[in-house]
Structure 1
Amino acid sequence: MNKHEHDPCMTAPAAAVHHVVGGDPGWAVASDVLAWSAGRLFTVGDTLWFAYEAAEVAGEAEFEPCEAGDPIRTYTDGLSRVRVGLDDEGTRYFLSADPAKCKGGLKLRVDVRATVSVSPRSVDRAAAAAPAPPASSGTQAVVPLVRRALCLVSVWCFLFLGA
């Protein structure tokens, strides 16, 4: 096979995800940031978007008591969104620079994992295994099924193909 031919068995990295920290409420005490992050998979190449400012601390010792006195980095852009790239595997810790807000729950622990690769054959099999939507439901019913299938394939690849 020459370098210009496409190998259909090759795996491609999953697309990077831009996570708006806290979802709709954003980076605010009112949003339960820890609960928001619990159901998410963060991988190398993803981006976190904070509204307002955040401080990144070295570890659990600073994270738990909300001690941002000597942060690794501070992300401050005023009222604009602060973009933080997740470039390496490992755990990262973010706090509100305001101790009262941090103690009110405005802090985030992110476990960054290796990029998940998805095999085109796996996606085809998962899509074929997904039940077909009712004929009257139109394309709106297809989108959640495709997303669910891709999510299942990504998790399967991550768990069984090693990461």
Structure 2
Amino acid sequence: MAAKAFLIAIFVAFVVASTSAIDHMVGGEDGWKLGVDYTAWAEGKDFRVGDTLTFMYKQGFHNVLKVNGSDFKQCLSTNTSVKPLISGNDVVTLANPGKKWYICGVAGHCSKGMQFSITVSLAEGPAPAPTPTPGSTTPTPDASAAANEISPLKYSMWMLTVMAALKLIVA
């Protein structure tokens, strides 16, 4: 009986943990492109370990580079081991707390505003609900993505936990 209670507690903890991460669509409805104020987009958002950043853009026109603070200020990447993300639908998981910097590595794009920095905090408790875009009564893309999307890894772990729980209950 104690094993069943333990397994149920693990299951509940997993479900709660899997629903607290937020997928932040970089740039909101505009995505990752020229002409968007990414500093304003990131302002006031709460980025936590476990959240993801999704960069949506037309493949071949932009890319995404994670850089350090000094490269960010100079709009370049001096770390040749870091390869740019180029799929047009790039998802970056925020794995560690601290300051993070992102730029578009296509010539001239960073200096034209395709850059932003964020501070990632530890995921302690549920993340606050994203605030709607000023003047909008509809939820932000971040809120709808978080409500409707579970990563394949989380889904697989959830299903394995459910199957193990069922096996213990039946046994």
Q: The TM-score by the shorter chain falls in which range?
A: 0.5 to 0.7
Q: 2:86 aligns with which of 76, 85, 102?
A: 76
Counterpart of 2:95 (choices 87, 92, 109) is 87
CA distance in 1, matches of 2:93, 2:117: 14
The one-letter amino acid of 1:39's match is G
Matching residue's letter, 1:63: F
Aligned to 1:20: 25
Return the alpha-carbon distance in structure 1 between the equivalents of residues 106 and 47 of structure 2.
25
TM-score, with normalisation over the residues of structure 2? 0.58
Q: Which one has a larger percent strand, Structure 1 or Structure 2?
A: 1
- In structure 2, distance between residues paired with 1:73 and 1:43: 24
Q: CA RMSD in A?
A: 2.7
Q: Which residue pairs with 1:54 in the alignment? A: 64
Consecutive unaligned residues in structure 2, runs of 5 or more? 58-62, 127-136, 144-171
Aligned pair in 2 of structure 1 residues 83, 65: CA closer, same or farther (>3 Å)? same
Measured against aligned partners, the alpha-carbon deviations of 1:91-140 in whole angstroms (never above 9, x if no partner) come to: 1111101231100111021211101214xxxxxxxxxxxxxxxxxxxxxx
Larger relative contact order (CA 8 Å, sep ≥ 6): 2
Distance 2:116 2:3 in 1: 43
Q: Check 1:73–1:114 CA distance in 2 against 1; reply closer, same or farther (3 A cut).
A: farther
Tell me which residue corresponds to 2:50. 45
**Residues 3 and 115 (structure 1), Cα distance of their counterparts in 2 relative to 1, 3 Å cut:** farther
Q: Of 98, 110, 113, which residue of structure 2 is paired with 1:102? A: 110
Equivalent residues, number = 116
TM value normalised by structure 1: 0.61
Distance 2:46 2:120 in 1: 8
User: Which consecutive unaligned segments of at least 5 residues does structure 1 have?
Assistant: 119-140, 148-163
1:147-158 → structure 2 map (5 Å cutoff): none
Q: What residue identity is the alignment partner of 1:107?
A: Q
